[in-house]
Amino acid sequence: MSDYCWYCLLPGVKGWGTDVWLGLRDWMQGQRAAVVRLVVQKQNVLARTFWMKKGFTIEKEIVGRAGRLESPAWRMFLHIATAVQPGVAADVAPLRTR
């Protein structure tokens, strides 16, 4: 795994989502992040709705894998760059895969 790829899971925690997201988003913007990507399992309609309300869009349908387990999922993304910054693309295209 890359040092630049984080996974954040809060299963079973209710009511913290928006506060956690806003704090994380603010921190990422302070680190000059331009784009956030996340994966939502397709059966988790509430999570997809939550992230779409936060401005994320579905980038691609994927199959998530954990060991031998497979699960259909959506890869979602959001541009969070607050301004054009030296060395940071202002308009980052969706991730392309082979």
Which domains does the chain carry? 34-85 (3.30.70)
CB 35 within 8 A of CB 79: yes
Rounded mean pLDDT, 3-21 = 73
Q: What percent of the chain has pLDDT over 90?
A: 49
Rounded mean pLDDT, 71-80 = 94
User: With bands split at pLDDT 50, 70 and 90, how would you rate the model's confidence at 62?
Assistant: very high
- Would residue 47 be called left, alpha or beta, if left means φ above 0 and alpha means ψ between -120 and 50 degrees? alpha
C-alpha separations of 91 from 17, 79, 83 in Å: 27, 8, 10
CB 56 within 8 A of CB 38: yes
Token pair, residue 21, equals 């997201």
pLDDT at 84: 46
